[in-house]
Structure 1
């Protein structure tokens, strides 16, 4: 417990030091008192820095939050504005001092910074992002990248187990989901669904409604996922087949299958996109499979080893949910679902990304 208290105290001190350093960049600014846990009306703000600039007196009123997730930032912004409103009502006359509300956190994402900007609240984080405007002073500083903890937290949302849950939500963004329903649809545990649900709520990508949670920002979710996407862990088999076009598809029509009772194999990447949203034809055929499915593909396609000129790539995936989520755009034809197809293409070459954009225009009108 003492460790938690000390870490909060250290964050408050670091926030005040960082804010004071930021003000130190302003020419002709005279710094005054610096106070922690400063009373503001009947409330108590985390910190206050008084200063003068020109002929005006200012007070930078600082609220410190350990988490800079949008959900907590929005709450902090409302809290700051409430403090100011209450303080103005209870202030004895006009003190002549202008108050500037500021939110400080270890890291603020672009979404969190936008919330502050929309509500006229200054901000800064300990990574270096900052925005402060008063009188004729305007500071706006953006630092590329994220700190490692924030990066790990975001990537943890897109693990294979979490991905199965996210695909269910993205499949029908307008549907409300209860935890038990979502767990059943994603074949996931209640605990894991609850963890993903909390992370999505913190980022304001989903909202609570009376019938469950609903995905209100599917575009933000998918854009974040495509940037953090890692191709499925797989053993890759490359080979050459003499079969092409209609003949190849006819041979595969009895082999492609997503059911666990039989060898499983499905089209992936550009091969899947040809059925979901045709864009361009290429000479490479891509498939996901389990081990029995890979053996079946080798036999049906008469695959031979090719040091150069391979035209078939089979990825033997460990994440079986990718096979379970297969879609059937035509009888006997099974492909990776549109979400996975899109993510695979987006993380390919420039031509693949064009195919991803085309697929999105057909399957994700909200993107």
Structure 2
């Protein structure tokens, strides 16, 4: 399938550049389609046209006497929230261009992700062997293949409580070049653990060593790996209900109670993000504390509930969530990184808000 080579002729792109990874995904996905009996893949090419309506690539599908012009979009992750946006964009693209059909390509697409694509009328191919093509008399669906791209234990260990202190520091200044000693001093983590983290980062193409120093090579992918692990571990919040008129009133009462009783605190979630930019209209408060005192709870008169509620409290055990917190409009708010993680862990609208925060504040 020599046509694929035209997608990877950009000069100066290394083997692990985003363009090279994209080409690898396209090649693998088209090989899977090529293995389907009676299905031919032709004319694979980079798409031209206005950026607003320009997919990553295009190709021609021949099935018997039928021919279909297909637009393809490549995603490094098959997370449902990302698939929903991409599928909706591709569905709209089909009304603006001469393509007959559109597919999403990703390393792995779950049953939930497959249902999203199916509902929106978009196909998919993943490198684990799952696929869906459904257009004008052609219907091919293969599902149930397990994820071949589960994160190895080495990557998961990068986001343990102690190691994530280092990741947090690196992502707070992603362009900085670090020495191992300098990073150990900055984070308070042993030089031995710093060395193991640096090696794991390099092994997984997140960072690159330069003499006695190293720097992040792909902060965006590192952030995405962290958010997936953070979402999987789903931090537990204790739920409370407070009889107040508004979220703002509750935040003020909690702040005053924390000051009166010597409780360190920081706001997170939509209520924290709303002080920076109105991504979501908060209906509840996410409140980190260093210790949970009964007198602190008594002052704003909050009661523990098994579900629902308008106040979520979490006790910080290793101070990680407090790192980078700052005062915004008189209220302490967690760092942009922590806000991103907590918003993402909410799922749904929270993930949309997290991506807005990422574009406007993190910018990687």
- Relative to the length of structure 2, the TM-score reads 0.56
Q: Which has the higher contact order (CA 8 A, sep 6+)?
A: 1
CA–CA distance in 2 between the matches of 1:353 and 1:225? 14
Residues 239 and 308 in structure 2, CA contact (< 8 A), matched pair in contact too? no
The CA RMSD measured in Å over matched residues stands at: 3.9
Query: Quick check: 1:322 aligned with 2:321?
Result: yes
Residues 205 and 217 in structure 1, CA contact (< 8 A), matched pair in contact too? yes
Paired residue for 1:337, among 335, 348, 364?
Answer: 335
Residues 208 and 214 in structure 1, CA contact (< 8 A), matched pair in contact too? yes
- CA 161–351 in structure 1, closer or farther in 2 if over 3 Å, else same: same
CA–CA distance in 2 between the matches of 1:184 and 1:256? 31
- CA 232–192 in structure 1, closer or farther in 2 if over 3 Å, else same: farther
TM-superposed deviation, 1:151: 3.0
Pair member with larger Rg? 1
Residues 269 and 341 in structure 1, CA contact (< 8 A), matched pair in contact too? yes
- CA 307–164 in structure 1, closer or farther in 2 if over 3 Å, else same: closer
Residues 232 and 317 in structure 1, CA contact (< 8 A), matched pair in contact too? no
CA–CA distance in 2 between the matches of 1:156 and 1:298? 35
- Relative to the length of structure 1, the TM-score reads 0.56
Other structure's SS at 1:238 match: strand
User: Which position in structure 1 is the counterpart of 2:147?
Assistant: 145
Paired residue for 1:347, among 345, 348, 352?
Answer: 345
Unaligned runs of 5+ in 2: 1-13, 43-124, 129-145
CA–CA distance in 1 between the matches of 2:17 and 2:41? 22
TM-superposed deviation, 1:283: 1.7
TM-superposed deviation, 1:173: 0.8
- CA 211–362 in structure 1, closer or farther in 2 if over 3 Å, else same: farther
Residues 183 and 189 in structure 1, CA contact (< 8 A), matched pair in contact too? yes
User: Which position in structure 1 is the counterpart of 2:265?
Assistant: 265
TM-superposed deviation, 1:245: 4.3
Q: CA offsets, 1:292-350, max 9 Å, x none?
A: 4x54541332112446652111112333221244232333x112211121112112131
CA–CA distance in 1 between the matches of 2:22 and 2:304? 56
Unaligned runs of 5+ in 1: 1-73, 78-108, 124-128
TM-superposed deviation, 1:289: 1.5
Residues 251 and 285 in structure 2, CA contact (< 8 A), matched pair in contact too? no
